[in-house]
Structure 1
Amino acid sequence: MTLFAHLATGTTTTCRAWAVTRGDGVTLGFTDHDRDLTFDGITFRADTGLSAQAIEQSTGLSVDNTEAIGTLTDTAITEADIIAGRYDRAEVRFWIVNWADTSERALRFRGSIGEMRRNGPEFRAELRGLAEALNQPQGRVFQRSCAASLGDAACRVDLNTPAFRHETSAYAVKRNRVFWTDPLPQAERWFEKGRLTVLSGAATGLSGLIKANRIDGARHLIELWQPLGADVAAGDLIRLEAGCDKRMATCQAKFDNLLNFRGFPDIPGEDWLVSTPRRAGSNDGGSLR
């Protein structure tokens, strides 16, 4: 029997279940039933205090929205994980399930977590449908600097090579934003505009963009634009990835990747648009100024 056939009987045993898959691969299951449910290899727990409001769905390309409400617990969703950003853009799936036979179910919503708000022990998470991706800017931008992201399909630089990635231990940490490491084989500023990822400790899986990379005495200093959301201790393992300032010269000299440069370094500037021909002198196709 399908779920729709079960609903047609008039006497139903249905509940709601949803799964949250974080960026670090951790999947959590929740249900508003009074007992745990299991399907698709996920255990949906009944004692988490999580519930969802009505889903707003429509035809066309408008974004489906809903909201999940719950309480912070040490065994499920914790305040520390929310502050650390582990639930940012996490994937969410929502089913209507026959709890007497979990094979009878229907997927009603699929999307991601948007804004999360906390009020004491309670939290509210905005859930955004798949059409949210259509709100992102599309198309190519014509500009002097490269429009690709380092290492993506357009750039094609392999960041797994030792020259562009280095793993080391944090010698010292200040406010989860400034890191000191032992001397690195790469030159000063090599990792500026790159990424730092924590590989061990309480902040495992968290990453941040690198603002500065310089030599500080006998050690290298790595400074992030923003502090990480969890504590990083001295001795924790970190991974550094090289950065790119999007200039053609950097693409050629640092990455030997000029053929994949996605910028237009010779595009005329805005002053060219307001330039006018001269009455005197020769007009040989050169500069108008």
Structure 2
Amino acid sequence: MKNIPENLQTHLTSDATNLVKCLLVKLSNETEIGFTESDIEFEYEGVIYKPFSGFNLDKLNYRLNANQEAQIYTCFDDFEISQADIISGKYLDAEIEIFSVNISNLSSGKIILQTGFVAEIISDKEKFFFKIEGFASKLKKIITQYYSKQCRAKFGDAKCGKDLEDYKYTGSVTESINNYSFKDTSREEEDYYFNYGVIKFLSGQNLGIKYDVRKFRDEVIELLLPSKFSIQTGDEYEIYVGCDKEFSTCISKFNNAINFRGEPSVPGSEKLLRGF
């Protein structure tokens, strides 16, 4: 149940109301920015609320449970929000308060509709969405890692420590088999060397498109999913070595056991049930 000040409650029971919705954004540097769907600018609790033509809260789905979520859809505006600010992450994790006030009598208080933080920002050219989540949702975030026998790092990331450029090879298609696979007779690497890798076409109809590699055997590269366009003889590509995240592979293939992000010696559930 919303807490409504007495003076504002009286206004709500009148025949005509002057309620307007407002959005207060509190950035991590404690800067406060106010927006309103009203067509006039006003000051409330020390913050200037500016009209925002692209700002519309009418379609917000308010929920009063602990995991309340909402989305704000609007457009970039010249005076406050820029695309550069969105890309830089200026508004990410900003605290949000959405409320209504009586524009004709601001001293009567406010009705808080929703509070939370900006969990995600999705932009598309001149439009963007703010995904707002309730503060309780932060309690659901995983702050540690599960143990696993396999490595949890992504091959080539900072935790792995390997430079992908050291495991990049180039080649060209010598025989097109289908949209799943092709042969490159110049490949001299051992079978399965490129399993779980990534391939990017440098020419042909698939120019610039990346695909996951399922298997490499007998000079044939097989994709995990079919290519969007036909693979033609002569198509050039670059391919990165893959990793199956096993400890033995980390040792024998990459000599990188020191950075292995798994616990291969932890007993599995079957061994635990047997009591070792």
TM range (shorter): 0.5 to 0.7
Q: What corresponds to 1:155 in structure 2?
A: 160
Cα distance in 2, alignment partners of residues 143 and 54 from structure 1 = 46
Cα distance in 2, alignment partners of residues 252 and 267 from structure 1 = 18
Q: Percent identity?
A: 23
Q: Compare CA radii of gyration and give the structure with the larger one.
A: 2
When normalised by structure 2's length, the TM-score is: 0.54
Cα distance in 2, alignment partners of residues 249 and 179 from structure 1 = 29
> Is the counterpart of residue 111 in structure 1 residue 121 in structure 2?
yes
Structure 1 vs Structure 2 CA RMSD: 4.3
Q: Deviation at 1:62?
A: 5.4
Of the three residues 170, 181, 185, the one matched with 1:182 is 185
Q: What corresponds to 1:199 in structure 2?
A: 202
Instruction: Trace 1:162-173 onto structure 2 (pairs within 5 A).
Output: 164-173=167-176
When residues 267 and 239 of structure 1 are mapped into structure 2, their CA distance, relative to the original with a 3 A threshold, is same
Preserved CA contact (<8 Å) 1:141 1:147? no
Equivalent pairs, count? 191
Instruction: Trace 1:1-289 onto structure 2 (pairs within 5 A).
Output: 7-8=39-40, 56=60, 64-65=70-71, 95-97=75-77, 103-104=78-79, 106=81, 111-112=121-122, 129=131, 139-161=144-166, 164-215=167-218, 220-275=219-274
When residues 4 and 259 of structure 1 are mapped into structure 2, their CA distance, relative to the original with a 3 A threshold, is closer
Q: Deviation at 1:256?
A: 1.0
When residues 112 and 179 of structure 1 are mapped into structure 2, their CA distance, relative to the original with a 3 A threshold, is farther
Question: Over residues 51-71 of structure 1, what are the superposed CA-to-partner deviations in whole Å (9 max), with x where a residue is unaligned?
Answer: xx986477997555479xxxx
Structure 1: gaps of 5 or more residues: 17-52, 68-93, 98-102, 114-126, 277-287
Preserved CA contact (<8 Å) 2:156 2:163? yes
Q: What corresponds to 1:35 in structure 2?
A: none
Structure 2: gaps of 5 or more residues: 1-33, 42-50, 87-119, 124-128
Preserved CA contact (<8 Å) 1:171 1:182? yes
When normalised by structure 1's length, the TM-score is: 0.52
Preserved CA contact (<8 Å) 1:248 1:258? yes
When residues 258 and 175 of structure 1 are mapped into structure 2, their CA distance, relative to the original with a 3 A threshold, is same
When residues 211 and 54 of structure 1 are mapped into structure 2, their CA distance, relative to the original with a 3 A threshold, is farther
Question: Over residues 112-159 of structure 1, what are the superposed CA-to-partner deviations in whole Å (9 max), with x where a residue is unaligned?
Answer: 48xxxxxxxxxxxxx78487xx88866312121211111111111111
Preserved CA contact (<8 Å) 1:196 1:239? yes
Q: Which residue identity lines up with residue 203 of structure 2 in the other structure?
A: S
Q: Secondary structure at the match of 2:159?
A: coil
